[in-house]
Amino acid sequence: MKSVKILSTTAILGYGFPMASFEAGMKLKPDCIAVDAGSTDPGPYYLGAGVSFTDFYAVKRDLGIMIQAGIEHHVPVLVGTAGGSGAKPHLDWTIQIVKEIAQENNLHFKMAIIEADIDKEVLYKAFDEGKIKPLHPAPECTKDDIKDSTYIVGQMGVEPFIEALKLDVDVIIAGRAYDPTVFAALPILRGFDPGLALHCGKILECAAIASTPGSGSDCMFGTIYEDSFVLETLNPIRKCTTLSVSAHTLYEKTNPYILPGPGGTIDLHNTSFTQLNENQVEVKGSVYIPSNPYTIKLEAAKCVGYRTVSIAGVRDSIFIREIDSIIQGVEQRVKDNFKNLKDYHLNFKIYGKNGVMGDLEPIKEIHTHELCIVIDAVAQTQEVANTICSFARSTMLHYGYEGRIATAGNLAFPYSPSDFKVGPVYNFSLYHLIEVSDPVNMFKRTIVEL
């Protein structure tokens, strides 16, 4: 039966995988080895600052195993969203790792590098033509958003990967890419249904997270047929079930039946999940609906200030009871003391009360013997952030609240120094859709021989 077999190594490149799982996957003779290397989940800092949230040597370990196996077995290795965020610095960082792997292991191969960076002049023109639209809940785009962004990437679809695969490359390292594309590109190139290929890629991009018990550091295997695809794990302690696979289909979605992506959507209204055996699930009925015009998602971040934080513990029942009034009092003291400083933000995260959910926390009454307090100051300069955080910390340390007994200090600091200068703070400045006429050539492609 005609098929394409795909080995997904780990949820994010650098998160690791057991060698036994990888070797079990290679024994099934995959047609490609693929991995998603990034995400916006860690927030805007990594894109804005041009650094990876994954570790150099962890990525090198995973990628070294994948590339050596790919070359030995003559199957392509595909990496999307290189370096965690997929902008030029992240791509260059990953290419450096690949070069080290090639040199240290005396490997010779052909590699495609696909850049995801979008030139600001291209965006200004698209903005003037009304081709940039917000992706809910982002606000309308402005030219200042474009101008102030450090790195701007477009989330490429399968088309650039397909064009690279046509050149018979051994390795593809791409910038920001739609998560399923590295898994779906080869099947679509070989004529398989794009709805099935992209849906399979949607699940494979998180690897064994879609199994039970789930793991982001283990392999998953997918086989795409003409009218279905089958998923299975490669570790005997995990199983694919209809529940684990269908649940992961709902992952990171606002609509359970529609999965939008570059150039179209996957319609899941008629999708079915069937348990073939204790470790294999068959999926059928997913349909790809092209969009007109073709759109891709833009991502960018800009620097909005500098941060300093202080972490402290509290174990006084009276202090815990009065925590809301204490915070109000400290905020007022800071405001009164620095009336000349207007452009700063002071925030208190109270773990043990509502540190995770904030105002959305439904449990209003505290029943705990201790709290963790994170004092978070952000300002236009590091010096001002240092000042606000330091003063808030010292004020809370000696604040006189109602019912207070001890006067030696209210806070217990686990670290010395107590204040941490975090540095630049970034916000997402672009999270928008842009209409494109050519989903291939807008992403620069380079072929190199290593």
User: For residue 407, is pLDDT > 90?
Assistant: no
**What is the reported pLDDT for 45?**
97
The average confidence (pLDDT) of the chain is 96
Output the CA torsion sign for 76, 81, 87, 91. negative
Question: For residues 176 and 89, is the Cβ–Cβ distance under 8 A?
Answer: no
Q: What is the pLDDT of residues 116-163, one digit of tens each?
A: 999 999 999 999 999 999 998 899 999 999 999 999 999 999 999 999
User: For residue 214, is pLDDT > 90?
Assistant: yes
**What is the reported pLDDT for 251?**
80
Domain chopping of the chain, boundaries: 4-299+430-449, 316-411
Mean pLDDT within 1-29: 97
Tokens 């600052």 sit at which residue? 49
**What is the reported pLDDT for 136?**
86
Q: What is the pLDDT of residues 308-362, one digit of tens each?
A: 999 999 999 999 999 999 999 999 999 999 999 989 999 999 999 999 999 999 9
Nearest to 330 by CA among 350, 305, 315: 350
Q: What is the pTM of this model?
A: 0.94
Percent of the chain exceeding pLDDT 70 equals 100
**What is the reported pLDDT for 87?**
98
**What is the reported pLDDT for 406?**
80
**What is the reported pLDDT for 25?**
98
Tokens 């785009």 sit at which residue? 141
User: For residue 65, is pLDDT > 90?
Assistant: yes
Mean pLDDT within 376-393: 98
pLDDT band of 253, cuts 50, 70, 90 = confident
pLDDT band of 188, cuts 50, 70, 90 = very high
Q: CB within 8 A of 78, min separation 6: which ones? A: 32, 33, 34, 35, 161, 171, 172, 174, 182, 183, 185, 186
Distances (CA, A) of 414 to 282, 287, 314, 372, 395: 51, 54, 11, 10, 18
Question: For residues 233 and 223, is the Cβ–Cβ distance under 8 A?
Answer: no
Q: CB within 8 A of 302, min separation 6: which ones? A: 48, 145, 148, 149, 150, 426, 427, 429
